[in-house]
Amino acid sequence: MSPEDPWIGRPQARVDGPVKVTGTAMYTGDVALPHLAHAVLLQSTVAKGRILGTDVAAAERAPGVLAVCASDGSLGIGPVASYYSADNGPMGDGRTPLSDAVIHHHGQHVAMVVAESREQACAGAELIRVRYREQAPLARIEDAIPQTPPGREDVVRGDLTTGLAVADATVEAYYETPPQHMNPMEPCATTARWTGNRLTVHDSTQHVFGVRAALAEAFGLRPEDVRVLSGFVGGGFGSKGTVWPHVLLAAAAARLVGRPVRLALTRPQMFTSCGVRPPTRQRVVLGARRDGRLTAIAHDGTTATSFGENVVENTGGTTAMLYACPNVTIRQRIVRLDMQAPTFQRAPGRAPGSFALESALDELAHELGVDPLELRLRNHADTDPSSGRPWSSKHLRECYRLGAERFGWDPDDRTPGTRRDGDVLIGSGMASATHEMDPGPAAAYAELRVDGTAVVGVASHEIGTGTYTVFAQIAADVLGVGPDRVFVRLGDTELPEAPPSIGSQTVAYVGPAIRRACEAVRDDLLAGALADPESPLYGREIGTIEFGGDTFVGELSRIGSPSISAIGHAHPDAGSPYAVHSFGAQFAEVAVDARTGTVRVRRMVGAFDIGRVINPRTARGQLVGGMTFGLAQALMEATTIDPRRGHVVEPHLAGYHLPTNADVGALDVLFVDVPDPHIGDVGARGAGEIGVVGAAAAIANAVFHATGVRVRTLPITPDRVVTAGSGLGWGDFGG
Partner 1 sequence: MSIEPAADEVELRVNGDPRRIRVDPRVTLLDALRDEFGLTGPKKGCDLGQCGSCTVLLDGRRITSCLTFAVMHDGREVTTIEGLGGDPEGELHPVQRAFVDHDAFQCGFCTPGQIMAAVALLDEGHAGDDDEIREWMSGNLCRCAAYPNIVTAIAAAAGR
Q: Contact 581/321 with Cβ under 8 angstroms?
A: yes
Closest separation in Å from C-beta 154 to partner 1: 36
Closest separation in Å from C-beta 62 to partner 1: 4
What is the rounded CA–CA span in Å between residue 317 and residue 681?
27
Which of the listed partners (ligand FES, partner 1, none) does 662 bind, with a CB threshold of 5 to 8 Å by partner kind?
partner 1
Q: Contact 602/699 with Cβ under 8 angstroms?
A: no
The DSSP H or E segment spanning 332 is strand 328-336
C-alpha distance from residue 136 to each of 145, 342, 445 (Å): 16, 20, 54
Q: Is 464 in the site for ligand FES (CB under 6 A)?
A: yes
Q: Is 654 in the site for partner 1 (CB under 8 A)?
A: yes
Of 182 and 216, the one with the shorter C-beta distance to ligand FES is 182
Out of 25, 155, 221, 728, which residue is the one contacting partner 1 (CB under 8 A)?
A: 25
Closest separation in Å from C-beta 672 to ligand FES: 26
Closest separation in Å from C-beta 279 to partner 1: 21
> Which residues partner with 671 through β-bridges?
608
Out of 92, 107, 210, 235, which residue is the one contacting ligand FES (CB under 6 A)?
A: 235
Q: Is 21 in the site for partner 1 (CB under 8 A)?
A: yes
Of 62 and 288, the one with the shorter C-beta distance to partner 1 is 62
- Burial track 394-416 (b if 16+ CB lie within 10 A, e otherwise): bbbebbbbbbbeebebeeeebeb
DSSP 392: S
Q: Is 127 in the site for partner 1 (CB under 8 A)?
A: yes
Of 461 and 720, the one with the shorter C-beta distance to ligand FES is 461
β pairing state of 454-457 and 442-449? antiparallel
Q: Is 241 in the site for partner 1 (CB under 8 A)?
A: no
Q: Contact 352/313 with Cβ under 8 angstroms?
A: yes
Out of 2, 3, 17, 52, which residue is the one contacting partner 1 (CB under 8 A)?
A: 17
Which of the listed partners (partner 1, ligand FES, none) does 251 bind, with a CB threshold of 5 to 8 Å by partner kind?
none
Q: Is 421 in the site for partner 1 (CB under 8 A)?
A: no
Rounded to 5 degrees, what are φ and ψ at 177? -130, 145
Instruction: Identify the CA nearest to 673 among candidates 4, 2, 3, 11.
Output: 11
Which of the listed partners (ligand FES, partner 1, none) does 387 bind, with a CB threshold of 5 to 8 Å by partner kind?
none
Of 343 and 713, the one with the shorter C-beta distance to partner 1 is 343
Of 27 and 547, the one with the shorter C-beta distance to partner 1 is 27
Q: Is 21 in the site for ligand FES (CB under 6 A)?
A: no
CA neighbours within 13 Å on the CB side: how many for 208?
29
The per-residue DSSP string of 536-576 comes to TTTT--GGGS---HHHHHHHHHHTT-SEEEEEEEE---TT-
Q: Is 416 in the site for partner 1 (CB under 8 A)?
A: no
Given phi > 0 = left and psi -120 to 50 = alpha, else beta, which region is 511? alpha
Q: Contact 342/91 with Cβ under 8 angstroms?
A: yes
Q: Is 185 in the site for ligand FES (CB under 6 A)?
A: yes
Sign of the Cα torsion 350, 409, 635, 177 reads: positive
Closest separation in Å from C-beta 123 to partner 1: 6
Out of 93, 186, 362, 477, which residue is the one contacting partner 1 (CB under 8 A)?
A: 186
What is the rounded CA–CA span in Å between residue 721 and residue 528?
71
Of 464 and 725, the one with the shorter C-beta distance to ligand FES is 464
Instruction: Identify the CA nearest to 682 among candidates 457, 487, 383, 393.
Output: 393
Q: Is 209 in the site for partner 1 (CB under 8 A)?
A: no
217 is catalytic: no
Strand, coil or helix: 266: coil
Q: Is 664 in the site for partner 1 (CB under 8 A)?
A: yes
Q: Is 651 in the site for ligand FES (CB under 6 A)?
A: no
Of 7 and 232, the one with the shorter C-beta distance to ligand FES is 232
Q: Is 86 in the site for ligand FES (CB under 6 A)?
A: no
Q: Is 13 in the site for partner 1 (CB under 8 A)?
A: yes
Instruction: Identify the CA nearest to 376 among candidates 387, 385, 388, 364.
Output: 364
> So which residues are the catalytic ones?
689
Interface residues with ligand FES (CB under 6 A) are 185, 235, 464
Interface residues with partner 1 (CB under 8 A) are 13-14, 16-27, 29-30, 32, 58, 61-64, 117-120, 123-124, 127, 183-187, 232-235, 237, 264, 266-267, 462-466, 617-618, 620-622, 624-625, 627-629, 652-654, 658-664, 666-667
